[in-house]
């Protein structure tokens, strides 16, 4: 039998996966996989866990949770240079990254991908020596994500987040960014800043319309400071994925960038608090996933 390590987050999304573990083990066992479940703790270092477990006994790792769980597990895999494939069971609130990979909600669909055993390599981002799988963001959107009450978020899902975004969008505070790419510096008075691996983030499906997870590049999007009318018009374009050529947006691709900020603003990576400025961001490593 092939051995799989199943790392699950008991609170992701509505916390429902913990009631589906027996079903998951049964489905995989019927297909000749022996499953070792592991219950993730808040802020756990998965790299240390993988070292303790002697991962050479396993043929694959599964992460069951949302984007934050995926970030924790992928960080451990990259940190310990582990080469076995990763399976994803998307049971978080947004699951932006899994959605883009075509791994839809629904346990059976996710398990089918693991059982079928097909794999591919995808890009992973690095920010100040930490790993991100989907997105780095800066700006008020980030503090809204961090401040959105977990209980409310789990009950209302993305709606709680959108209500907060819409309420606070008119009063987003601008910040002064310098982005250095290939020897060129961009100076921007920004409202929001994103570096994306996939096109989807924050529940928006086309935030980076040209992004591909396996092109060795990251997509950079700056929403510039603009007047109230331009803000509203841009927000509507973002929903349709038509914002990237707008005068109030700067959008390009890069494999390496250095970002400095004159103001004090929070950063976010994959929905969790990110490092402080300056940010050294690159797209370097490739991750093998069941897909």
* Catalytic center residues: 272
Peptide bond into 76 cis (omega under 30): no
- Which residue's Cβ lies closest to ligand ATP? 66
Residue 198 binding ligand ATP, by CB under 6 A: no
What is the DSSP pairing of strand 267-269 with strand 135-139?
A: antiparallel
Nearer to ligand ATP, 68 or 87 (CB): 68
142 binds ligand ATP, rule: CB under 6 A: no
Count of chain residues binding ligand ATP (CB under 6 A) = 20
What residues contact 89, with CB distance under 8 A and at least 6 apart? 8, 17, 24, 62, 63, 64, 65, 107, 110, 111
Which parts of 29-48 interact with ligand ATP (CB under 6 A)? 40-43
Could you tell me which stretch among 3-11, 54-62, 118-126, 222-230 binds ligand ATP (CB under 6 A)?
Answer: 3-11
CA neighbor of 110 nearest in space, from 74, 170, 70: 70
Binding of residue 16 to ligand ATP (CB under 6 A): no
Nearer to ligand ATP, 146 or 173 (CB): 146
SS3 150: helix
- Closer residue to ligand ATP in complex, CB, 13/60: 13
- Provide the token pair at 171: 């009063």
In order, the DSSP letters of 100-111 are: HHT--SSHHHHH
Chain Cα centroid distance, residue 258: 20
Stretch of residues binding ligand ATP (CB under 6 A), selected from 87-95, 163-171, 231-239, 248-256: 87-95
**DSSP 3-state of 173:** coil
Nearest distance from C-beta of residue 212 to ligand ATP, angstroms = 20
* Tokens 């989807």 belong to residue: 200
CB of 149 to ligand ATP, least distance (A): 12
- The residue (of 73 and 211) whose beta carbon lies closer to ligand ATP is 73
Strand pairing partners for 36?
5
Distance CA 125, CA 225 (A): 26
Among 95, 134, 137, 197, the residue binding ligand ATP under the rule CB under 6 A is 95
x/- letters, 52..81, toward ligand ATP (CB under 6 A): -------------xxxxx------------
Binding region for ligand ATP (CB under 6 A)? 9-13, 40-43, 65-69, 92-95, 271-272
């Amino acid at each position: 039998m092939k051995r799989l390590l199943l790392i699950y987050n008991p609170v992701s999304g509505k916390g429902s996966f913990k009631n589906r573990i027996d079903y998951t083990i049964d489905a995989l066992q019927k297909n000749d996989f022996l499953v070792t479940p592991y219950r993730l703790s808040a802020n756990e270092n998965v790299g240390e866990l993988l070292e303790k477990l002697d991962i050479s006994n396993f043929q694959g790792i599964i992460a069951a949770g949302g984007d934050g769980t995926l970030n924790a597990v992928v960080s451990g895999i990259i940190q310990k240079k582990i080469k076995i494939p990763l399976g994803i069971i998307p049971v978080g609130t947004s699951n932006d990254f899994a959605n883009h990979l075509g791994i839809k909600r629904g346990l059976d669909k996710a398990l089918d991908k693991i059982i079928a055993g097909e794999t591919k390599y995808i890009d992973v981002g690095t920010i100040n020596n930490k790993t991100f799988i989907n997105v780095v963001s800066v700006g008020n959107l980030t503090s809204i994500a961090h401040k959105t009450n977990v209980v409310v978020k789990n009950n209302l899902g993305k709606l709680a987040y959108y209500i907060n975004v819409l309420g606070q969008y008119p009063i987003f505070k601008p910040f002064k960014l310098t982005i250095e790419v290939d020897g060129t510096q961009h100076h921007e008075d920004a409202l929001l800043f994103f570096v994306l691996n996939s096109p989807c983030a924050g529940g928006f499906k086309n935030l980076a319309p040209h992004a591909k997870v396996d092109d060795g590049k990251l997509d950079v999007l700056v929403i510039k400071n603009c007047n109230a009318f331009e803000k509203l018009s841009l927000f509507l374009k973002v929903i349709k994925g038509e914002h990237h050529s707008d005068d109030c947006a700067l959008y390009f691709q890069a494999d390496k960038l250095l970002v400095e900020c004159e103001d004090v603003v929070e950063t976010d990576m994959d929905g969790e608090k990110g490092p402080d400025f300056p940010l050294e961001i690159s797209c370097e490593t490739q991750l093998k996933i069941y897909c």
